[in-house]
Structure 1
């Protein structure tokens, strides 16, 4: 039976967002896509209709008797309210994702969705560049479609370590002619990082917004470039999340509030999408000076999670 999940939120991060639902979701498709896996789940139209680009889902892996107690969080790639399904893309990294990849069509998984704060959307047309590393591009195609539906323009900058770890290049090119691709080893597109073609793409589109998803160093660099060119930076962080609903505090980041005070904000509720200029990227994983409630004179590392 489906049940609604109530999340713990601070007044600062509280926004209008859908209440997530816990349910048993049947696997409709599970197949390899390059270096990744594509997973389609039957969630019912109610859950799918509440998904916006940037939302994520948390899956329990292994069943009631499993030693893998923590849920795994995955960005939602697509939602189809008509079919009552959502689509996830994941890479096999450890025991949890390996166990998930071993499932079969017809199996069921325990799901909580939609979770998190999605990418903000302007009411009118805008020009935006969407930047992603690896399968961090998963939520970007639905976001691009919504921007285009509002009369805006989009460009993509997609990067990965190698060609097999790129995701969605064809999807991007089906949406816009403005697509730049980079790989660290030069096996596809230009050799280099996503930050290399980003300034040119911002200028080409006259972009006022840059949306990004990927590892922390990339998000920090993208934010610095976007800010230098006068564009707003919206970043979807890839923090490890143990609960996904704002209780455990394992995914906190130091974020500067509208009042100028730095607080630990939970990536699972206040994020995963943050204003990149508000995140203290260099202080992630520490108790930084000026943090509300911490000893500002003696910052030290947060114990490893």
Structure 2
């Protein structure tokens, strides 16, 4: 049982899934089967959770862009259709023990995962400031909701074409927001290039950064190995790490963004002779 609606350039799909809603924590994702029972699309699709409402029978809302045949099929679902989904999956965002100043950075529909996180941070007395952006105004997700939530904080909007807010990217606007809010921590979700740039800003400001990565997660449970990326462990050793199982949330400075898509020569178990590309 579900409902679908358009949100600017995106689709929002709400399903009744009480077991997922009950166990959900901000940063979790779900894995969805697409195409129906007789489809040739055998791999599942991973989606971050935008919202849960346990009081309405346990509903879970996903936000996505219909960019391929699988997501296009999902966008065509209607009320009373059923879908096969598994969750909640992955490791969620870690929350601070004490009230701190947090800046939440989202690019495109990656912003969707930040709103349950903002609620959880506010419950702990944290100040939450938003930096949301995209290429154009219709692809900035959650601007109105962020403004409603940030009563005593700030919302900075960016677009690369200048159609909304400040012209540029979220990472362009982030240094001024971090300085102006005296931020203690940055949380971010979006394309890998965005997370790389946001992490660089946080490192420069000497504050921690938690990133929810966007990688292809075909199974969602750590078996297929399609979502591996190089991550530096507590011991300083780089390992090819499964985003779906050990992530999707990582400390930004531990992710070797410049080597994503390759197996670095110094990764544990890697053959010598330089980095190899991961297909």
- Taking structure 2 as the reference length, the TM-score comes to 0.97
How many residues in Structure 1 have an aligned counterpart in Structure 2? 276
CA shift digits 1:201-248 (9 cap, x unpaired): 111221111000011111011011111112101001110111000000
Q: Cα deviations across residues 43-91 of structure 1 (Å, max 9, x unaligned)?
A: 02x3202111111111111222111101111110011122211111011
Unaligned runs of 5+ in 1: 1-25
In the alignment, does 2:106 pair up with 1:132?
Answer: yes
Is 1:153–1:205's contact at 8 Å kept on the other side of the alignment?
Answer: no
1:55: which partner in 2?
28
1:3-18 equivalent positions in 2, closer than 5 A: none
Equivalent residue, structure 2, for 1:223: 199
Query: What whole-Å deviation, never above 9, does each CA across 1:161-191 have from its counterpart, x for those lacking one?
Result: 0001011001111111401000010011111
If the length of structure 1 is used for normalisation, what is the TM-score?
0.89
CA distance in 1 between partners of 2:276 and 2:45 (Å)? 28
Q: Secondary structure at the match of 2:84?
A: strand
Q: Distance in 2 between matches of 1:69 and 1:95?
A: 12
Report the equivalent of 1:22. none
1:79 aligns to 2:32 (yes or no): no
| Alignment match, 2:63 | 89
What CA distance in whole angstroms lies between the structure 1 residues aligned with 2:13 and 2:141?
14
Asked if the contact 2:240–2:263 (Cα under 8 Å) also holds between the matched residues in 1, the reply is no
Whole-angstrom distance in 2 between the partners of 1:166 and 1:132: 9
What is the match of residue 13 of structure 1?
Answer: none
* 1:28-39 aligned within 5 A: 29-39=3-13
Counterpart in the other structure of 1:20: none
Q: Which runs of 5 or more structure 2 residues have no equivalent in the other structure?
A: none
1:101 paired to 2:107:
no
Aligned counterpart in structure 1 of residue 124 of structure 2, from 150, 153, 160: 150
Name the CA distance, whole Å, in 1 between partners of 2:23 and 2:260: 31
> What are the residue-to-residue correspondences of 1:154-193 with 2, within 5 Å?
154-176=128-150, 177-193=153-169
Residue 263 of structure 1, CA deviation: 0.4
User: What's 1:21 paired with?
Assistant: none
| Structure 1 counterpart SS, 2:180 | helix
Higher alpha-carbon deviation: 163-172 or 291-300: 291-300
Distance apart, 1:289 and its partner CA: 2.0
Task: Give the secondary-structure state (helix, strand or coil) at the position aligned to 1:195.
Answer: helix
RMSD of the TM alignment (CA)?
1.0
Corresponding position: 1:298 with 2:271 = no
Equivalent of 2:96, from 122, 128, 131?
A: 122
Structure ranking higher in helix proportion: 2
8 Å CA contact 1:208, 1:230 repeated in 2:
no
Structure-2 separation of matches of 1:47 and 1:195: 33
Q: Secondary structure at the match of 2:122?
A: helix
Q: Report if aligned partners of 1:288, 1:296 keep a CA contact under 8 Å in 2.
A: no
